[in-house]
Structures are given as C-alpha cells and as structure tokens.
Amino acid sequence: MTELAKKTIHELAPLIERREVSPVEVTREALERIEVLDPRLHGFITVRPEQALDRARAAEDEIARGTYRGPLHGVPMGIKDNIAVVGWPTTNASALMTDFITDYDATVVARLRAAGAVIVGKNNMHEWAMGGTSAPSAFGAVHNPWDETRVPGGSSGGSAAAVSASMIYGSVGTDNKGSIRNPASFCGIVGLKPTYGLVSRFGELPATSADTDHLGPLAKDVMDAALLLNVLAGYDPQDPTSIPSAETDYTAGLGRGVSGLRVGVPQDFFFEQATPEVRELVGKAIDTLRSRGAEVRDVRIPSLAYMSLADAAWVNEARTFLLPFVPRGPGAFADRSIWDRLVLGEFVRTADTLKAMRLRNLIRREFLAVTEEVDLLAMPTNATPAFPIEAAGADRDRTLTSTSVLLTAPLNLVGMPAISVPCGFSADGLPIGLMLAGRHWEDEVVLRAAYAYEQAATGGYATPPIA
C-alpha cells in the first residue's frame, strides 16, 4: 500500500490544501485499490469511476483557483447502499432493489458534496440492514480485511471493510442496533453513532424505525470521525426527527483529555456477555482512561436483563416496510432469516409492541439516571471478535447476527452518542472495540475521550494484512 492510501483524512487534507497532492491522483489511487482489493472483500455494490474522477477534477480546479472548502475537499468517500445518491441505485443489498434509482441525494450526501468530498461508490451491507454480519448480500458476502474468512460485522460491513482496507478514507453508515459500531469494531476502525436527531436521516431508504435509527461516520481514526461529523451534523427540515443544534467543531476539544471525567462501567449485561479475551482488553482500555485522569466507577442498569424482550417493537417495525415482499417467500432474500423475522412480526400484537416500548422507556430512564452520576459509559462494543463467514451463512436462527449487535443495541434505545474505538487484538489477530457512550448532545465529550484513549494506547489507524 502506498503512503498516500494509508493516510487519514486529517493527514491527507493539508497536502491537498497546499496542492502537494492532487484530488485526481488520490481518487485514481482509490479506484485502483478498489479494482484490486474489492473482488476479494466485496465492500462495494456500485462504483462510478468516471463520475468520481469528474468530481475530483472539479475539486482540483476549485482549489487551484483558491477556493478550499475544508478537510473533505477532494477526498474519496463511500456511502452505505441504503442511503440515496442521485442517479445511482440504492439496493439495500437486495436483489429486489437492483433497479431502484433515486433522483435526489440524501441530506448527508448533499452535505458531503457541499464539503467537496468525492463519492466514489456505494458500500455493500447486510441485506436490508437487518443483521450484523454482512454475509448475506445479493452482491456477495463482505469479507473482513483482517481475516478474509471472517465477517466484517454489519450491517454497514462494506463501509467498514472499505475504510479499513484504505480503499476510501471514510464512509457514512446507518445504525439501528449497532450497524456502525459493530463493523467498525470487527474491522479495527472507528464508528460513531451520533446523538439521535443530530444527523439527518432524509434519504435513508427505507426509513426504518422512527426512534432508534441513526446515520453516522465510519473512519480510520477518531480525528477523522470528528471531521466527518462536522460536515454531517446539522438540522434538516426534511427529516421530521431532526433536531436543531448549535454548529459545533467536533475537533476543537479533542486534545482536552479525560482528566476529571467520570467514567461509569456498567456491571450489568455488557461484560457478562463478552468473552474473557474481550473483557480483558476492554478492562485494560478502561485502566488506560483511569491512568489518564478519568475517575472510573461501577454503575448499574438492571433492566438490561430484559433487553431481549424489548426486541418486539423492532420486529414489528421491520414488518411494515418489507411486508409487500413477504408473499414472495424466503427465496426472495439473501438472508432467509429476514423473511422469518417478517413472518414472526405477524404474531406480535399491538399490546406486545406497546409493552416493549414501555420496557424501552424503563431501560432508557435507567441510562439517563446513570448519566447524572457519570459523564461517560465504557464497555465492549462486541461480545466476541469477528466470527467465520461460513458460520454466518448457516445462521438461520439469527444467533450470530443477534450476538454481533447484542451490546450495541441498548444505546439505540436511548439515543445517546456512542463510539467504537479499537482497543487491541484477539489472540487470532482480530480487532476488538471499546465502546464509549455519553449524554445526549455531548458527542464532543465522547469523541474527546475516544481520542484520549486512542492517543494513549494505540496511536490510531492500523493497517490490516490485506492492505
């Protein structure tokens, strides 16, 4: 891999701004890497080289004329394939959607374009964003750059694999149960689920559950995640769940460290589900935060014991937008367990959904009570490292796909910002992630703590073997 491809956005941007590196050169190299690596990783569903190069040339001309739009100007990016890009297919990795083309951009895409980013393609994913492996896709299973026999996680698995393998410098994913953080953890990169309402969901297709879905960045390191959030965040009247927020530079406070921050370590649910190896690495990461001045204390969120029963509301929501495809039978889905799930939705009554929503509120209230005592929560992103693709392929009872988002999903119920940052490797050389979550609208605190940990422990982006 060349030094250029290996760079992060914050390393590349000054070179582009000073015109030491051309956006065309960077984009051409990204496209070449996609051509070489993607037949093995399947991180992309759509790649549009000519359009990407046109955008790169436009960026180059603009910068040459003295108009530099900021750190994303001329930088190659990917978009998960459940987010609309004008004129390109938005397939959800489903054979049922191969000819579905929108005549508009999602708001996040429009924001990236306005910042001068070069969108090179649409990233592969777990079919319909309804699973945590990205093995079932009408366009082929996505492979993990750290071990090609393993899943990259999901559902934003193509985004994570492509960023990890340095085919692109960042991507935008969606996270309804952990679909940004889980693949980020499995692929050794950073994934941020921002506060609910901070990043517009307009153009996410289909618009999934109203109050647990989020869009956010997948990036090589924490600084890049903050740079991307700077561009993605902001009120959007086209999204009824978007919430007005003050314009914030999420990079500004990164260097302030964690001294004085109170970090809560949940004693329920998270660590008891994780393997000993994951527990040990995440425990060491928390020790690092303590050594940097954070005050670490135990906290309790007892209602998480009932987390699996809160799933009823998700089951019912999924049913509503895929119901037209159910009569076609399980063969219409790459992931046949999705069809099962849709059928099961027919057996969830309104009373069950309402009870599940009450349970969600109970869990949410307990999280909110805990965050009155602490500034952050620290826990594992995943219970295990990435597992074999072969096992995921036989996962009709959804055991593995459920395990992969087991620890991330509670934060979707609550809407708090949560980030996954790499915190070491398993004995097999697979990345493990530390998850940090903060109070609503305190995304900058989450980023700051993740950055402090990253700088103290790992130093940032690590190159996987395939790259």
Partner 1 sequence: MALTNETLRALLIEYIGTDFGPEEIERLRPLVERQIERMHQLQALDLGGDDPRTMHYITDRRVLK
Residues serving a catalytic function are 80, 155, 179
Q: Backbone phi, then psi, for 345, in 5-degree steps?
A: -60, -25
From 65-73, 105-113, 268-276, 324-332, give the range in contact with partner 1 by CB under 8 A: 324-332
Q: Backbone phi, then psi, for 394, in 5-degree steps?
A: -100, 20
Residue type (1 letter), 259: S
Which residues from 81-140 bind partner 1, rule CB under 8 A?
none
The minimum distance between CB 342 and partner 1, in angstroms, equals 9
- Residue 124 CA, chain-centre distance (Å), reads 13
- The helices-and-strands tally (H runs, E runs) of the chain is 17, 11
Q: Which is nearer to partner 1, 58 or 357 (CB)?
A: 357
Which residues from 340-399 bind partner 1, rule CB under 8 A?
340, 343-344, 346-349, 351-352, 354-362, 364, 397
The closest of 108, 121, 116 to 16, measured between CA atoms, is 116
Q: Which is nearer to partner 1, 64 or 210 (CB)?
A: 210
From 38-46, 105-113, 307-315, 419-427, give the range in contact with partner 1 by CB under 8 A: 307-315
The minimum distance between CB 327 and partner 1, in angstroms, equals 4
Q: What is the spatial distance between Cα 81 and Cα 90, in angstroms, rounded to a whole number? A: 5
Number of residues that bind partner 1 (CB under 8 A): 37
The minimum distance between CB 365 and partner 1, in angstroms, equals 9
- Residues listed for the chain: 467
**Residues ≥6 apart with Cβ < 8 Å to 450:** 190, 222, 225, 419, 421, 434, 436
Q: Which of 441, 451, 453, 461 binds partner 1 (CB under 8 A)?
A: 441
From 132-140, 144-152, 222-230, 337-345, give the range in contact with partner 1 by CB under 8 A: 337-345
Q: Which of 283, 330, 388, 393 binds partner 1 (CB under 8 A)?
A: 330
The CA dihedral of 303, 305, 310, 312, to the nearest 10 degrees, is -150
Q: Which is nearer to partner 1, 124 or 316 (CB)?
A: 316
Residue 16 in 3-state DSSP? helix
Residue type (1 letter), 107: T
Q: What is the spatial distance between Cα 85 and Cα 171, in angstroms, rounded to a whole number? A: 13
Q: Which of 31, 96, 190, 312 binds partner 1 (CB under 8 A)?
A: 312
Burial of 90 (0-12, 13-18, 19+ CB in 10 A): buried
Q: Which is nearer to partner 1, 297 or 365 (CB)?
A: 365
Which residues from 211-270 bind partner 1, rule CB under 8 A?
211, 243
Which residues from 199-218 bind partner 1, rule CB under 8 A?
211
Contact 385, 430 (CB under 8 A): yes
Residues that bind partner 1 (CB under 8 A): 196-197, 211, 243, 306, 308-309, 311-312, 315, 326-327, 329-330, 340, 343-344, 346-349, 351-352, 354-362, 364, 397, 415, 440-441
